[in-house]
Amino acid sequence: MVAQKMNLSSKIIIYGILIFLGLFWTIPTFGLLVTSFRVPDDTSSSGWWEVFTEGKFSFTLQNYSAVLNPGDGATSNTAATINLNQAIINTIIMAIPSTVIPIFLAAIAAYAFAWMNFPGRKFLFMVLVALLVVPLQMSLIPILRDYRVLGLNGTFLGVWLANTGFGLPLATYLLYNYIVTLPREVFESAVVDGASHPTIFSKLVVPLSMPAFASFAIFQFLWVWNGVLIPLVFLGDDPSRIVLPQRILQMIGQYATNWQLLTAGAFVSMFIPLAVFIGFQQYFVRGLLAGSVKG
């Protein structure tokens, strides 16, 4: 009985600490949210926390209207040549293929490394793992030179291929750790029934590996969505192809003192990644733990 009370007390303490840390971690984000709904005069004259201490809060949606439709008169600064609407579309065009393509290629490679015997398999897998520690900045100039020859500079196809190449090592490693733990008996039965490798991959591996696919999809999508360097290098600063992180950087210069507009733009950029994470969160932990133990 005493032991049960001690366990209950320990759980309460642990949960209390975790809740406190979670709330403490979200304070900056909450401050951004409050600021994004404040009027310019309140933002420039008081901190966001004074909304609760002194009641200095005037609710407005004009900030979101201003960043999505520049030139509405919400700011005295010059209107931008491109608004967040086009930047969001460009970022979606960049992010979805840059997530789907590496998952598809990495799944095929992971299946081959896990369940197919071919010369040099272990060596190639070691090389693949070694690529995880190579900084992507080292490969930007060689890729740019190749793209110049192929005519891929300034195209979304070039960004898709670059993000795929940079994401493949981690994707293959994560998916391999999951696929290699799938029951061998299932594959042996499929082989006895005359199933080929493409059939086994499409009918068995893909359905059984969905948690791992979803887990990596979250990592890859967030990395691509929030990335600045790769689209800046391969797409440039053409307004018709600018992506959301670049547009947010432009807003820092455009709305330098209008923090309510910057925070509204930041929350607009957070909405889609947050929706993706919430939609796939049930697979997230399961996919991260995939392959860590064998049962």
How do the residues of the chain divide into helix, strand and coil, expressed in percent and rounded to 5? 75, 0, 25
Domain boundaries in the chain? 3-68, 85-294
On whether the CB atoms of residues 143 and 105 are closer than 8 A, the answer is no
On whether the CB atoms of residues 261 and 255 are closer than 8 A, the answer is yes
pLDDT at position 286 is 59
Dist CA 170 CA 107 (whole Å): 11
Tens digits of pLDDT across the chain (295 residues): 555 665 777 788 888 898 999 888 888 888 888 888 888 777 777 777 777 776 666 778 888 887 877 655 444 443 443 468 888 899 999 999 999 999 999 999 999 998 888 888 889 988 988 888 888 888 888 898 999 899 888 899 999 999 999 999 989 998 998 888 888 888 888 888 888 888 888 888 888 888 888 888 888 998 999 888 899 889 887 778 888 888 888 777 766 667 788 888 888 888 888 888 777 777 665 555 554 444 4
CA angle 163, 169, 171 (to 5 degrees): 80
Share of the chain above pLDDT 70, in %: 86
Dist CA 43 CA 35 (whole Å): 7
The DSSP code for 78 is P
Max intra-chain CA distance, the chain: 75
85-294: CATH superfamily: MetI-like (1.10.3720.10)
